[in-house]
Amino acid sequence: MKREVPYILMLIMIVLRFAFEWIGPLDAWVLADGMKVRSLISWAMTWMGFGAFGLGIVNFTRVHYGNIRHRREHWMFSAYTIVLAWAYGIYGVIKGNNDPLFSTIFRVVSEPLDATMFSLLAFFIASAAYRAFRVKNLESTVMMVVAFLVMVANVPFGEMIWSSQSWLGGFSGIRTWILATPTAAVSRAISIGAFLGGVANTWRVVLGIERRHLAH
Amino acid sequence: MSEILFLAAEAPQYKFGFVVDQPNAVSACLFYLCMGILVWVGVSRARAGLPLPEIKRIPGLEAFDEAVGRATEMGRPVHMTNYDEGIGYEDTFAYWSYMAYVAKLCAQYDTRLIVTDSSYLCNAVHQDIVRQAYLEAGRPDAFNPDDIRYISGTQFAWAMNINGIIAREKPAAQFLIGYFYAEALLIAEAGALIESIQVAATIATTQIPFFIATCDYVMIGEEMYAGAAWLSRDPIITGSVVSQDIFRIVIFVAVILGALLETFAPGHNFIKTFCNF
Amino acid sequence: MREFLERFSEINPRIIYLVMACALIIPVLQPIGLPIVVDEETTKPVFDWIENSKPGEIVFFDVSYGGGSNAELSPQLEAWFYHCMQKGLKAVGVAQWETGAMIAGDLLKKVAAAAEADGYSAEYGVDWVFIGYKSMIWREMREDLWKTCGNTDFYGNNFEDLPLMQKVRQWTAETSKAFIIFEAGSPGVGTYLVNWADCDIYVGCVAVNVAGNQSILRSRQIKGLLAGLGGAAQYEKLLGRPGDATSLMDAQGLGHAVIIVLIVLGNISYILKKKNG
């Protein structure tokens, strides 16, 4: 039963979701109070997401509490994490996200931390590009040339060297063509392939072939 | 019953009398059904032992053994991760095939494996997968649940933690399998700076260039799924990958035909009409 | 010189980071004033959409980014929102990311105050409303925006008390033909391509997503694209109101230039080393 119940629940949700999205009369089914049945199902799924969030909070607390209790390496950081996460969360629930202190903490702590990590990308891409863009073979040469053209077009220097008003639209025109034609084509191709993989995988799950997520 | 159900004053227009009147409703459903049939046929053939096309060897797949071997020689751990993972995600399922393979290799070579997760639900599954791999390799004592870590669901908190692990543990091999966002370059470059062998497999088109710049081997898009099938050696998964390939050929023909029709006979583009139905 | 070039490929990454840091910080402290060229295919359509809209028209926007993308997308949001207030449009905002809601909650008030100081009407509840991060049940939002958003906005005001919301019971093409989404990843524009395909969708995205969004731009699924900080700077130029994006473009330009120089020098070094065997 431990294996069958999740599978059956999954099938029921898939059928319900599909049926209420696709079959017209079900899509239009309205209850006496004016609420659509489809909306009820959507709300139920939203509440399930909320339940999953609750599960995450419990698991997060359990993991870090375990670190503290067994005095594992860096257990102090787990203590900070639990205290700060719960305090901030409870405060936000009570006071709302418009509370000055709540939004100040977000603005002063979370935003700069996120921005700092994101800005590391600028340095890392410099060292990665410097290391990777070498004329080792044809593919890497082509990659380097294309990256070079797009980068030059993205900066004002490119416009100064070869204006967009001149032949071929300058670097800007070349960049536009690179983005519009080969990049868009490859992006679509990879997306189609990835999507097909996703659909095939979905069917494997629905047909019961894929069972690892049920801990088989 | 009439108290619960009442009809709208004007009956909406349905396709075939019951399908919602939205573009792509019928064609998308047919597409899904055809894919389902193909998957079923492919898997059935695999189960019956009938011959299936072979999956071509992808260079990145051979690097797995090489990378784990290198880590064993250097006495450093192997690190494996996926950022955008979730129980229902297709790339997560593919990731599990890779994880089972790498875990088995690490168990056989007695190499430490660190798996970092951004999803607590997946963390539970990963613990099981790795434990099972160690059990099958006859090394249940070597399994360390503390090495299968749930980090954080937040992008940069996760990335910061991984970079810390890379700086401290200095893994000799890194496997970045799945869907990534901006944090991809952060962890891949951190790994490149400590000169670890890195193998990436992703369907995230925006991150492919960064992986190519920082990783030794990169598997793009479909190769990730094919690689999962190849590594798992499971004919059932191979069967479904073959069905994907078949449908891809169908899409390829439809795209070419549709483009030609739209160019030379726009009023007779039945492909477009069907897709919009 | 030759010896320097040969050894350049072994340069310590820390020196690269230091040079990069200087290239990024110095222009911020001492602006250069490099020219900004407006992209006619991506930025101009977004500007023209607002410029050609009639006063009183309702436009929606979605704030789907976090702290990491703040530097690129907040200038876009700022410039676009100011333009809306300048043209007398009525803006209604939602957020698919909770962090986006927190960021926009403060930012929009600041921009509205600036617009009012410049003599334009930007009264909350009359000219603009920010709903924030809500249930995100999309099809239901189209049909009954009030119910799915819990009848309250981000600031805790009841929709009944907001005159603008009296005109916005539903989010359909009749209410608002076009809207813009400022996105940094997932969930992002995909939500709207599926559920609001009948509307004109404009996107403001981080630079890394520009390549991925090209396919939907070229297929006209989206009508315009603000590409990262450059797109924001171009919008500010069209608006005639230089802001953060314009001042930061110097840094971005110089940063790109440093990377280009590093690549060139790195390749010269590689070729010289290869020649010397």
Q: What is the pLDDT of residues A166-175, one digit of tens each?
A: 888 889 899 9
Distance CA B186, CA B201 (A): 16
Among C221, B247, C193, residue whose Cα is nearest residue A195: B247
* Interchain contact A157–B (C-beta under 8 A): no
Contacts of A29 in chain B (CB under 8 A): 5
Considering the domain architecture, whether residues C98 and C165 belong to the same structural domain is answered as: yes
Question: Given an 8 Å threshold on Cβ–Cβ distance, is B221 in contact with A114?
Answer: no
Give the type of residue at A16.
L
**C106 and C11 inside one domain:** no
Same domain as C153, residue C17: no
Same domain membership, residue A180 and residue A106: no
pLDDT at B7: 42
Measured distance CA(C230)–CA(C39) in Å, rounded: 9
Strand partners, B218: B200
Shared-domain flag, residues B104 and B173: yes
Above 50 in pLDDT, residue A99? Answer: yes
Residues forming a β-bridge with B80: B115, B175
**B258 reaches A (C-beta below 8 A):** no
* CB contact at 8 A, B159 and B187: yes
Q: Do A1 and A91 share a domain, yes or no?
A: yes
For residues C14 and C62, state if they share a domain.
no
* A211 has pLDDT over 80: no
* Any A CB within 8 A of B5 CB: yes
**Burial per residue of C53-89, b for 16 or more beta-carbon CB atoms within 10 angstroms, e otherwise:** beeebbbbbbbbbbbbbbbbbbbbbbbbbbbbbbbeb
- Contact partners of C by the rule of 3+ C-beta pairs under 8 A? A, B
Better-scored residue on pLDDT, C78 or A10: C78
CB contact under 8 A, A135 and C271: yes
| β-bridge partners, C227 | C205
Distance in Å, alpha carbon of C185 to nearest chain A alpha carbon = 13
Residue C265 has pLDDT above 60, yes or no: yes
pLDDT at A215: 55
- Asked if pLDDT for residue C27 goes beyond 50, the answer is yes
User: Kind and range of the H or E element at B113?
Assistant: strand B113-117
Partners of residue A123 in chain C, C-beta under 8 Å: 16-17, 20-21
Count of the separate structural domains present in chain B: 2
* Residue C274 confidence (pLDDT): 83
Check pLDDT > 60 for residue B6: no
Task: Find chain B residues with C-beta within 8 A of A205's C-beta.
Answer: 88, 93
Q: What is the dihedral of CA B220, A117, B157, C107, to 10 degrees?
A: -110
**A9 in contact with B, Cβ within 8 Å:** no
Assess whether pLDDT exceeds 70 at residue A212: no
DSSP conformation class of B112? -
Q: Which positions ≥6 away from C100 have C-beta within 8 Å?
A: C63, C64, C65, C66, C133, C182
Tell me the C-alpha distance between C9 and C252, whole Å.
24
User: How far apart are alpha carbons B131 and C182 in whole angstroms?
Assistant: 43
Out of A210-214, B174-178, C70-74, which region has the weakest mean confidence (pLDDT)? A210-214
Residues C91 and C121 in one domain: yes
pLDDT category of residue A32 using cuts at 50, 70 and 90:
confident
Q: For residues B179-197, give the mean pLDDT.
A: 93
Residue C159 falls within a domain, yes or no?
yes
Mean pLDDT of chain C: 91
Give the helix, strand, coil percentages of chain A, each rounded to 5.
Answer: 80, 0, 15
Mean pLDDT over A137-165 rounds to 87
Question: Does residue B21 fall inside a structural domain?
Answer: no
Tell whether C165 and C218 lie within a shared domain.
yes
Q: Is residue A216 part of a domain?
A: no
C156 touches A: beta carbon within 8 Å: yes
Does residue B11 carry a pLDDT above 70?
Answer: no
* Contact list, C185 vs chain B (CB under 8 Å): 181-182
Write the CB contacts of A215 (distance below 8 Å, at least 6 apart in sequence): B124, B125, B128
Q: Which amino acid is at B218?
A: V
Q: Do B259 and B123 share a structural domain?
A: no
Residue among B84, B155, B206 whose CB faces C212 most closely: B206
Please report the pLDDT score of residue C71 as a whole number: 92
pLDDT digits (tens, 9 = 90+) for B126-179: 999 999 999 999 999 999 988 998 888 888 889 999 999 999 999 999 999 999
Give the model's pLDDT for residue B5: 41
In chain B, what is the greatest distance between 2 CA atoms, to the nearest angstrom?
76
Q: Which residues contact B232 (CB under 8 A, 6 or more apart)?
A: B97, B100, B101
Q: Are residues B226 and B273 in the same domain?
A: no
**How near does any CA of chain B get to the CA of C66, in Å?**
10
* In contact, C137 and C148? CB cutoff 8 Å: yes
Asked if pLDDT for residue B267 goes beyond 50, the answer is yes
DSSP result, chain C: -HHHHHHGGG--HHHHHHHHHHHHHHHHHS---------TTTHHHHHHHHHTSPTT-EEEEEEE--GGGHHHHHHHHHHHHHHHHHTT-EEEEE-SSHHHHHHHHHHHHHHHHHHHHTT----BTTTEEEEES----HHHHHH-HHHHTTTB-TTS-BGGG-GGGGG-SS-STTT-SEEEEEESSSSSHHHHHHH-TTSEEEEEE-GGGHHHHHHHHHTTSSSEEEEHHHHHHHHHHHHT---HHHHHHHHHHHHHHHHHHHHHHHHHHHHHHHHT-
Structural domain contains residue B210: yes
Binned at pLDDT 50, 70 and 90, residue B1 comes out as very low
Q: Does A115 touch chain B (CB under 8 A)?
A: no
pLDDT tops 80 at residue A132: yes
% chain C with pLDDT above 70? 100
Query: How many other CB atoms sit within 10 Å of the CB of residue B124?
Result: 17
The domain total for chain C is 2
Q: Are residues C8 and C97 located together in one domain of the fold?
A: no
What is the domain-level CATH number for residue C96? 3.40.50
pLDDT, tens digit (0-9, with 9 covering 90-100), for B43-70: 888 888 888 887 777 888 889 999 999 9
Q: In angstroms, how far is CA A172 from the centroid of its own chain?
A: 31
The partner residue sitting opposite A144, judged by closest CB among C34, C255, C263, is C263
User: What pLDDT digit, counting tens, does each position of C96-149 carry?
Assistant: 999 999 999 999 999 999 999 999 999 999 999 999 998 777 878 888 899 889
- The pTM score is 0.89
Q: Is A203 exposed, middle or buried (0-12, 13-18, 19+ CB in 10 A)?
A: buried
* Position C78 in a domain: yes
Query: What is the predicted pLDDT for the residue at B4?
Result: 41
Domain containing residue B258: 234-277
Give the single-character DSSP code of B65: H
Q: Which of A49-63, B123-137, B185-199 has the lowest mean pLDDT?
A: A49-63
Residue C144 is predicted with a pLDDT of: 87
Host domain of residue A178: 137-209
Residue A81 to chain B, least CA–CA distance (Å): 11
Higher pLDDT, residue C104 or C273: C104
Q: Which residues contact A97 (CB under 8 A, 6 or more apart)?
A: A103, C101, C102, C105, C132, C154
Between chain B and chain C, the number of residue pairs with CB atoms below 8 A apart is 18
Measured CA to CA, the distance from residue B255 to residue C75 in angstroms comes to 39
For residue A60, pLDDT over 60 is answered with yes
pLDDT above 70 for B245: yes
- Mean predicted confidence (pLDDT) in A189-216: 80
| Overall number of domains in chain A | 3
Which of C186, C197, C209 faces B23 most closely, judged by CB atoms?
Answer: C197
Residue B11: partners with Cβ closer than 8 Å, 6 or more residues away? none
Do B226 and B239 lie in one domain? The reply is no
